[in-house]
Structure 1
Amino acid sequence: MSDLNETEIRVFIDAITHYFDQLTQEAATVRGAFLDDNGGSVPVYDYSGQIAVSGQFRGTITVSAPRALIRHLLLAMSEQDQSDANLRDTVGELANTLAGNARKHFGSDMQISVPRTAAGAIGKGASRKRPYVIMISWKTYSASLVVDIERLD
């Protein structure tokens, strides 16, 4: 098993900044990226979406964002439905989009699941002892992207 390298982690950073830029014409910025040493020091927001990864990779990609950020995304899509179910669907679609962009980079060796969503934290089956955490800002909001993936050799 091997870790992703810096260039491969950059795929996720580029995907999330591009997502916001394409949807809202205002890119998200990376506030910080780090390895989670404490096994839980990642902020969890109102909604989380997670994609499981399999094939030649194992792990998860998880996005967590506050309700207000997701509502702004819905408005950017001209979506008026602000229900809890639609907020969860939207954060799940965000996670799915990021995983889909990663799959384009890594190829068919990376298989992705349908999104799982939750209000608040979503359970994680840690693949790595220290997952990659990417903290982003968009407008006045913060969100987290946790890349907990390893390559199976």
Structure 2
Amino acid sequence: MSFSSWNLTEATSAIHDITVNGYSATKSGGENDFPSRRLTVGGYEWEIRYYPKVFITHGDYRIAFRLVFLGPAGARGVNASFSCRLMDHRSTWTEARWRDASGNQHDCRAETVSRKFHLARESSDWVKLIKQDDLERSPAILACDSE
């Protein structure tokens, strides 16, 4: 009698701190994106793209990110999940808090998207982190911003 086994849940994870130095300067770039350096996770190449101003609906602009697969995927593709969260660096890397237009305080939750990538240069859906107006009303998050 012979036995064989395999791991159906093999996964690799990585945490990367992405700091946007000079948010005020990047937002003037409109809907242009800013790529991270290349990242290697699970033997695959990736980059993260930062979008300082993504139009969602009338008057609603968001700070957003996308995961970009740089390849190669092979015939079966590569499944990936991508999460982002705003952090408050002044409070020893805790989740940031922000106030909406009504003055209500909120904790920044992690936003996650998942996708199966097949081709190089494919990107995930948007991770829409926070409304641009809400971010700009939050001096704690933008404390280290430089124009």
The TM-score with structure 2 as length reference comes to 0.30
- Which of the two has higher C-alpha Rg? 2
More contact order relative to length (CA 8 Å, sep ≥ 6):
1
Structure with bigger strand share is 2
Structure with bigger helix share is 1
